[in-house]
Amino acid sequence: MPSSPPPASGPPRMRPFTYAGSTPRSIMPITCRCRKWCSRSAPSGSGSTSRACWRRYPGRRGLAQDFVCWRAMEAPYTTIPLKHWNDFRSFVDQLSENWVFRGQAAACWNLQNTVERTDFIRIRPQVEAEFMAEFQRGARNYLTRDQIPEHLIEWLALMQHHGAPTRLLDFTKSPFIAAYFAFEIALPEGGGNVAIWAINIHYLKQRSLEALRAYYGRELEESHDIVNESLFEKIFYDNRCSLVFPVEPFRMNRRYSLQQSIFVSTGRAAEPFMDQLQFLGPEMNQAVLKIELPALHQKQVLRELQRMNLNRASLFPDLDGYAASMRLRYNSLRTPEEVLADRIRKLEDNEYRFLP
């Protein structure tokens, strides 16, 4: 989605995000609450002693507003509220192939990897490396020689696959697979929304490469890729770069291939994913979208996805996945009352009168 190659003097720029449908809701900042992150003096009259994170934003009528801090945003991403499944299909048709997606059953959940879901990592940061070493020792008892990973990225992917805590976060290149994971365990009775998060992976990679040059300039220039194994190990074990970046192991197991998976990793284990994602700066709200849909459409959406052959059996190719797909199919069956109501609605749409 970037409009042109990044200029040599600074990071790449993104086109303003537009959608010919529901109005995007981007929460704009009001005042600065991040003085500790800033390095220069604030603009005169701003009432702050910091400057580095301040930006000029357009006002409601297009007039320029000074002294606005993007880090003070309540939610520095764009929320797309949609009402119907067909709206979602129309929306994702407008996106390029540069976007990756993650479905979550509750719109109130932030993006969060499994390592940060416990505060223990903040108290004892080295616990991540200890878990990694322990998993590597124990996993060899269950893997054949051909299945043993060769590189750190592959070990992390294997840990993620089996539910061990890692700093990786699963995304998929398919918006419909993400929608399946969002609706699969949603609770329609609560009346809330599910969320399908979307990140422009092309822009994320460009910005992360730009940021990492400050730490690993020469090595990065040689590799031209974050997935370089030796460089990734340095980023992982240094544990000092506050950013997120895409990771795609060279060897993927069958499940991740079917799910079209790609991982996004954080540079630091003890810092929340959403905080590190803000390294994107003020254009984060163009590169990170949260698409919301009512959870009450769960049955309809799962039936639609079933027609696309997206179910537990196809995404988890084992007996457990097959059994889970049968359970979900049973739960998505319509009651006689729902069938009758659907027939009445079709008759009314065709301007026919329903006769008993």
243 contact partners, CB below 8 Å, separation of at least 6? 208, 211, 212, 266, 267, 276, 279
So what's the pLDDT on residue 37? 38
**Are 295 and 301 a contacting pair, CB within 8 Å?**
no
So what's the pLDDT on residue 293? 97
Helix axes 229-238, 152-161, angle to 10 degrees: 70
So what's the pLDDT on residue 283? 86
Q: Residue 2: beta bridge partners? A: 14
So what's the pLDDT on residue 313? 79
Question: Cα–chain-centroid distance for residue 143?
Answer: 30
**Are 207 and 279 a contacting pair, CB within 8 Å?**
yes
69-105 as b/e: b if 16+ CB within 10 A? bbbbbebbbbbbbbeebebbeebbeebeebbbbbbbb
In DSSP notation, 192-258 reads: -EEEEEEEEHHHHHHHHHHHHHHHHHHHHHHH-STT-HHHHHHHHHH-----EEEE--SS--HHHHH
So what's the pLDDT on residue 72? 44
CA distance 179 to 153: 26
Plot region of 268 (φ>0 → left; ψ -120 to 50 → alpha; else → beta): beta
Nearest of 123, 111, 218, 99 to residue 168 by alpha carbon: 111
**Are 264 and 199 a contacting pair, CB within 8 Å?**
yes
CA distance 242 to 279: 7
Provide the token pair at 179: 């929608």
Q: What is the pTM of this model?
A: 0.72
Amino acid sitting at position 254: R
Q: Hunting for tokens 């060899």 — which residue is that?
A: 140
> For the chain, which residues score pLDDT lower than 50?
1-11, 19-20, 22-23, 26-73, 321, 351-356
CA distance 231 to 245: 13
